[in-house]
Structure 1
Amino acid sequence: MIVCFPHKPGKGGPGSFQTRFEKALLKRDIAICYAATSVKKPDVLFIVGGTKKIGWLLQMKIKGVPIIYRLDGINWLHKMKSYGVKKYLVDEYRNINSKLIHAFIANSIIYQSEFVKNWWNSAGLRKVTQFNCIHNGVDLNEFNAENQLPESSHRVVILEGTIDYTPYAIDLINKVAFSLPNNFTIDLYGSFENLKNKQKIDKKINYHGSIPRENVPSALKNAIYLSLDINAACPNTVAEALASGSPVVGFDTGALKELVTNDSGIIVDYGGNPWKLDTPDYQGLIDAVIKISTNYNFYAANARKLAVERYNIDTIVNQYINIILEEIKKKKRN
């Protein structure tokens, strides 16, 4: 079997997924290729996130190659923030490409979450009938709960690709740091859109900058993970934190309520309209962090248990492979 991707893994969540997925396919002796070096007719095309190679997709579709599209959310922040004309046009172009593939080119759609499915049903060009919902998976050996603190944790970890992608992020983080008792520490990882915001971080916060991928497992251990993602499709870091035995706290936006159970973390009300980037109510985050810290072992054990039951990368990959095999069978029947 040969699975062909439009391009090599990129950055961010989609890139992390494709890297893991390719590794899992190769482990199962399934060959992979890319559009630039593809065989004339691979068994299946697999799109992660999106691609501008619409012409190539159409050529493959005419040849009868099944196309599977794993979908993220839809770009929307460019409409809420002043990124400039170029960024606005690029994001709109990407949205148009994704909507065309979703509505008319792909044979099968895989949504990352129910939240993503509902989003595309309301904002896409049409509702599709051939789809599956599969959450992200995590390597349970790479992210594990070994050497967890035996009693409790007063360490809060915030790990974002871009910390200040919302206008209130810095103020929110500072309020959390100021409001937590003095025995709590906050480790902050990520980069800044505006480097001036780096200087606004409270001195109580341990800022570590961007973190290499290989250091993420150790950063997430022995902690309460505070997710600041807004309307996230299915954040990888949440699954990674759970697998590390680190309970999750975050706002009830995006797919977080789907990913975190009441005994593996606490998801709190946003306190406004996240789609309009209203300033959220931070007090709920404070209360949740303190509550988890007083019963840390309970939440930590259930976080790891949840990851084992739902987010094992091997189980997730098998679901994808079953879909791939089904599409190949359909092609042969036709």
Structure 2
Amino acid sequence: MKIALVALSYRPIHSKALGGIEAFTFKLASEFHNRGHQVTLFGNADSKIPGKVVGITNGQKLMREGWPLADRLFVRKYVTFQLMAMLEALRREDEFDIIHSNLAEWHYAFLLSDLSKKIVVTTHGTYTPKPDMEYILSKYKGPHMVNISQFLIDSVFPKYNPRSLIYNGVNLDEYEYCEKKDDYYLWLGRISPVKATKEALEAAHKADVKLKVVGEADYQDYFDDEVKPLFDKKREFLGPKFGREKIELIRKAKGLIFTTNWPEACPMTILEALSCGTPVIGFDMGAVGELIENNVSGYIVKGGDVSGIAKKMKEVDQIDVRECRKRATKFSLDKMLDAYEAVYQKVINKNKLK
């Protein structure tokens, strides 16, 4: 197939991409290329994938210190360049069998769906206010939608069709199973209030356990004022890690701490940990309960309950790490890719009948 992937453009898409959607898009591009498909990515000009890149902008020039969406000028540029990526793919639609939007702004695909019947859109989260979503869904028929969790379907898109449920997938060969663990816990993600980094550190202090924090600071003030003071000999900051270094940290951890104040749609860090046989202790937000089997492959704690996280840190040895790996096999990368190929083919076949 000839596949156009429309990507977030304010950051490059590559093997060390920061952000869940960016990492997902890179994995999709790489794996479809490996399966023999012709992949073209519309997004940041500095992107590096095993395929073609149609550069919309050098997104690094849009960034500023701290979380960029707090900057109104950035928001204007951000919206403009996401639309440019989508419109450029649509302008060249005759070159492709499928145009797959992976923008956080899923509604762009709806607003532009009359321009092409080749669009597939993956909804990666609840980024649009619900009244706006309901209005858009009532106004536009829209393209084939892929939801990445039942949580998204139930909370945001309960009546929409056509759609498919395809969970994110983890490469079971890349994130190898490891039974022998070291004496530390791991927190992995963007360091920001919405990811509740501070709460993970507070729990580690309460439980008096070692915690390694891996990630990049989105809000520098938050990091300096609320997170950094909690580091000491047992609680250390490692900065962002990639590739084998990141994987080894996950494999050897006693447990992954998944604190979040945001309703995550299908967090990859949980799947990566489970694949490595690493139990997950997480707040009950979004789709967390769909991925973790409570008391089997990890523990689910009420959102915001720091003491609850600390308590379960003391009980993590009761989890059979083989059950974690077993759980991960339900969310394999191959299953995800097969499902997307089936959706693509369904859309292609439907268009042939018209």
**TM bin (shorter chain):** 0.7 to 0.9
Give the drift of 1:98.
11
1:331 equivalent to 2:338? Answer: no
Q: Find the partner of 1:137 among 169, 189, 205.
A: 169
Query: Which residue number corresponds to residue 125 of structure 2?
Result: 73
* d(CA) in 1 for partners of 2:291, 2:109: 36
TM-aligned CA deviation for residue 266 of structure 1: 0.8
Q: How many Å apart are 1:51 and its aligned residue? A: 5.3
Question: 8 Å contact 1:57–1:105 — kept in the other structure?
Answer: no
Matching residue of 1:45: 99
Identity %: 20
Match of 2:334?
A: 314
Match in the other structure for 1:111: 147
1:32, 1:16 → 2: CA distance? 16
2:316 corresponds to: 292
Q: CA deviation at 1:23?
A: 1.4
Question: Where does residue 300 of structure 2 map in the other structure?
Answer: 267
How far apart are 1:14 and its partner, in Å?
A: 1.0
Instruction: Provide the rounded CA distance (Å) in 2 between the counterparts of 1:55 and 1:311.
Output: 26
Map of 1:88 onto structure 2: none
How far apart are residue 97 of structure 1 and its match? 9.2
Matches of residues 1-334 of structure 1 in structure 2 within 5 Å? 1-7=1-7, 9=13, 11-33=18-40, 34=42, 36=88, 38=92, 40-50=94-104, 54=108, 58=112, 61-62=114-115, 64-75=116-127, 100=136, 104=140, 106-121=142-157, 127-146=159-178, 148-149=179-180, 153-165=182-194, 169-170=197-198, 172-181=199-208, 184-192=209-217, 193=219, 194=221, 195-197=223-225, 198-203=227-232, 204-223=234-253, 224-230=255-261, 231-262=263-294, 263-270=296-303, 280-293=304-317, 295-296=318-319, 298=320, 300-308=321-329, 310-334=330-354
Taking structure 2 as the reference length, the TM-score comes to 0.73
**Is the contact between residue 43 and residue 65 of structure 1 (CA under 8 Å) also seen in structure 2?**
no
SS state at 2:194 partner: coil
Deviations 1:227-255 (Å, cap 9, x if unpaired)? 01231111110000001110100111110
Deviation at residue 22 of structure 1 after TM alignment? 1.2
Mapped partners of 2:224, 2:244: distance in 1:
28
Q: 1:274 maps to which residue?
A: none
| 1:56 to 1:164, Cα distance in 2 relative to 1, 3 A | closer
Q: Cα deviation per residue 1:26-53 (whole Å; 9 max; x = unaligned)?
A: 1121112235474534211111134599
Equivalents in 2 of 1:102, 1:19: separation in Å?
A: 32
Deviation at 1:202, TM superposition (A): 3.3
Q: How many positions carry a matched residue from both structures?
A: 292
Could you report, residue by residue, the CA deviation over 1:140-166 in whole angstroms, capped at 9, with x for unpaired residues?
A: 1111114x31xx653210111124336
Does structure 2 retain, via aligned residues, the 8 Å contact 1:51–1:98? no
Rounded to whole Å, the distance in 1 between the matches of 2:274 and 2:284 is: 17
Contact 1:68 1:106 in 2 (8 A): no
Contact 2:183 2:210 in 1 (8 A): yes
Residue 324 of structure 1 and its aligned partner are, at CA, apart by 0.7
Higher deviation after alignment, 15-24 or 193-202: 193-202
In the TM superposition, residue 315 of structure 1 has moved relative to its aligned partner by 1.2
CA distance in 1, matches of 2:299, 2:117: 44
Task: Please give the per-residue CA displacement for 1:260-280, whole angstroms capped at 9, x wherever unaligned.
Answer: 11311111122xxxxxxxxx2
Q: Distance in 1 between matches of 2:197 and 2:190?
A: 13
**Which ranges in structure 1 are unaligned for 5 or more consecutive residues?**
76-90, 271-279
Paired residue type of 1:236: M
> Equivalents in 1 of 2:29, 2:134: separation in Å?
22
Tell me the TM-score normalised to structure 1 length. 0.77
Following superposition, the deviation at residue 108 of structure 1 comes to 0.8
Measured after TM superposition, the shift of residue 173 of structure 1 is: 3.0
Residues in 2 aligned to 1:251 and 1:285: alpha-carbon distance in whole angstroms: 8
Letter in 2 for 1:31: Q
Q: Is the 8 A contact 1:250 1:256 kept in 2?
A: yes
Distance 2:138 2:22 in 1: 19
User: Is this contact kept in 2: 1:45–1:65, CA < 8 A?
Assistant: no
